[in-house]
Structure 1
Amino acid sequence: MTYREFTPDSRLQGLVRLYWEVEENHGPGEEEHRFMPERSVRLTFYAGESWHGSPVTGELGPMPAASLFGMTLAPLRVVSRGHTCALGVELYPWGARQLFGWDIGTASLDLLPEYGGVSREVCGLLDVQDWAGARARLEVWLLALHGERAREAGVGVQAATQLYRSLGTLRIGGLAAELELSPRQLERAFREEVGVTAKTLARLIRFEEVHNRLWLRPTTPLAPLAYALGFSDQAHLTREFRALSHMTPRAFTHFVRQHLYGERAEIESRLQHSALDHWGPDHWGPDHSGLDHSGLTGHGLANPRAGDPQVGPAQGFRSAASPPML
């Protein structure tokens, strides 16, 4: 697998966090992935054979060639076969709302009916592995949408930005008071501008932060982690993690240790100069200068065997989603 990240045009950075590319050869048979809930919304263009659905029901349907998806409260099961390529855009929720009218009730939006021309162009370029051409066409389209639909950040976006920067630990009442709003006014601004409630956004931010820290440091003690991220106690963290991932933190870290044993040194050496290894408020996000994690994965665990479920979403090699300065 090859995974790369790229910085968007500066005009888009208030709405778009990054672009990413994934190319993967699944070998004989099929390979299963699990995408965990995350704190961003993904716009994805896809070339290859994949199916997605709920890990609970077991029902799968074809993955759209171009889709908008994210901020679900349950894992997504994906089964892929053969050679696949994906070009993605990681959007802040207010970016997805301004550009595409997204809200938390949008489970998955197939872009082909409304944006068929650009969707087919980008996917066609992925088919012939013209990554630079696909990225360029995508960015021209996003800039056009930005020119037509982008709005100045209101108090809802300002509040959401502060939630990201606090890693989801700010209390809604305190946040409202800081912005000189009532809690009800703040929630209304959140729904209108961000497309998700403040409570749900904070919940997803904290979950992904726990996931990322345990992914990188599976021996991390849970009690101090719970305290650092504003959970009432370790039991509260465990309940939240299990509710959103359908597995306990212990089961997750056991899986990580089993599948990454012997690869930790390589991973640590790749991360030691990256902001991914820092969790304080002055270190947000990874290196976006065309970072190439060959052999690693931003969409699951590293070097999985065919048939192994990959327990890790798009945040596999990412730290906190870093909102722009507003």
Structure 2
Amino acid sequence: MTTTPVPHGEFDPPEALRGAIRCFWHTRRECDGTRFEIIPDGYAEIVFHFGGCYLDDKPLPSPFLMGLLNQPLALTTVGPLEVIGVRCYPWTVFDVLGLPPGRDGLRVFEHPVALLARYFLHARPAAVDGTVFKAGVAMLEARGALAVSAVAAAAHATVRTLERKFKQSSGHTVKDVAGLMRFEQARNRLWAEPRTSLAALAQALGYTDQSHLSREFKRYSGMTPAAFARKRRP
């Protein structure tokens, strides 16, 4: 099994689209039956791929929507693979694509190019509900560490109104998305610095304690943060 990746590149979207899209990204690799896992994070991805990409031995169409995940998702690639992704905020991606919100981890949709082109060309930042947009900004700035009541206060809404609007726009609760955002911060830190103190990391990211961090990390990755860090160490 061989894999020759090229550096992963990320590119900022135009100013008018930054309320809906975090970034565009691109990667390319030569694969020979490579199996890899997509780890949950706080974003939804529109994925265009060119090459052999399989889920449970079934070829994946291009593009597909990778929504929020609760557990890692294993894909297999064969031969040269080139991927272009659009990393979207989960409370905007369904509006971008004109799809009903849902909790599907992976969703196939038909003829999206015209939808995307129309959205990008007209750059409709006002399409996102103002309450949801303010809530999303507050969550991003706090890296998922705000309580739902604090997110509602930042969005100038009641908790009940915010939860209703958030679920309508993303298919997930505020707590769902915040938990994934915070997990992403923990995962990235341990990926870069696997010898990081878990107790200090839990405190820095606003978890109640190290046990809380471990439970949440295992929920999304299928392994404890200690096990994840051990795999990263030389």
Instruction: Name the CA shift for 1:76/1:152 in 2 (closer, same or farther; >3 Å).
Output: closer
Q: Quick check: 1:240 aligned with 2:221?
A: no
Q: Quick check: 1:207 aligned with 2:183?
A: yes
RMSD across aligned C-alpha pairs, in angstroms?
Answer: 2.2
Q: What's the TM-score once normalised by structure 2's chain length?
A: 0.88
- Structure 1, unaligned runs of 5 or more: 53-58, 120-137, 259-326
The residue type equivalent to 2:130 in the other structure is G
- Give the aligned partner of residue 312 of structure 1: none
Q: What's the TM-score once normalised by structure 1's chain length?
A: 0.65
Q: Deviations over 1:223-257 (max 9, x none)?
A: 11111212111011111111110111111111111
Q: Deviations over 1:174-221 (max 9, x none)?
A: 332444432212211211234321010111001111000100111110
Q: 1:220 is paired with a residue of what secondary structure?
A: coil
Q: Deviations over 1:278-301 (max 9, x none)?
A: xxxxxxxxxxxxxxxxxxxxxxxx
- Give the aligned partner of residue 22 of structure 1: 27
Q: Quick check: 1:35 aligned with 2:12?
A: no
Q: 1:47 is paired with a residue of what secondary structure?
A: strand
Q: Is the 8 A contact 1:168 1:202 kept in 2?
A: yes
- Alpha-carbon distance in 1 for matches of 2:209, 2:15: 40
- Alpha-carbon distance in 1 for matches of 2:194, 2:100: 34
- Alpha-carbon distance in 1 for matches of 2:153, 2:81: 48
Q: Quick check: 1:190 aligned with 2:195?
A: no
Instruction: Name the CA shift for 1:12/1:181 in 2 (closer, same or farther; >3 Å).
Output: closer
User: Offset of 1:104 from its aligned partner?
Assistant: 4.2
User: Offset of 1:150 from its aligned partner?
Assistant: 5.4
- Structure 2, unaligned runs of 5 or more: none
- Alpha-carbon distance in 1 for matches of 2:61, 2:193: 34
Q: 2:104 is paired with a residue of what secondary structure?
A: coil
Q: Quick check: 1:68 aligned with 2:71?
A: no
Q: Is the 8 A contact 2:67 2:107 kept in 1?
A: no
Q: Is the 8 A contact 2:101 2:168 kept in 1?
A: no
Q: Quick check: 1:228 aligned with 2:233?
A: no
- Give the aligned partner of residue 49 of structure 1: 52
- Give the aligned partner of residue 79 of structure 1: 76
- Alpha-carbon distance in 1 for matches of 2:155, 2:63: 38
Note the 1:97-176 alignment, pairs <5 A. Answer: 97-100=94-97, 101=99, 103-111=101-109, 113-115=110-112, 118=113, 140=117, 142-144=119-121, 146-147=123-124, 151-176=127-152
The residue type equivalent to 2:45 in the other structure is R
Q: Is the 8 A contact 2:199 2:209 kept in 1?
A: yes
Q: Deviations over 1:252-271 (max 9, x none)?
A: 1111113xxxxxxxxxxxxx
How many residues are matched? Answer: 228
The residue type equivalent to 1:44 in the other structure is V
User: Offset of 1:38 from its aligned partner?
Assistant: 0.9
Q: Quick check: 1:10 aligned with 2:15?
A: yes
Q: Structure with the greater relative contact order (CA < 8 A, sep ≥ 6): 1 or 2?
A: 1
Instruction: Name the CA shift for 1:154/1:253 in 2 (closer, same or farther; >3 Å).
Output: same
The residue type equivalent to 1:37 in the other structure is P
User: Offset of 1:145 from its aligned partner?
Assistant: 6.5
- Give the aligned partner of residue 157 of structure 2: 181
The residue type equivalent to 2:131 in the other structure is V
- Alpha-carbon distance in 2 for matches of 1:141, 1:177: 34
User: Offset of 1:102 from its aligned partner?
Assistant: 5.4
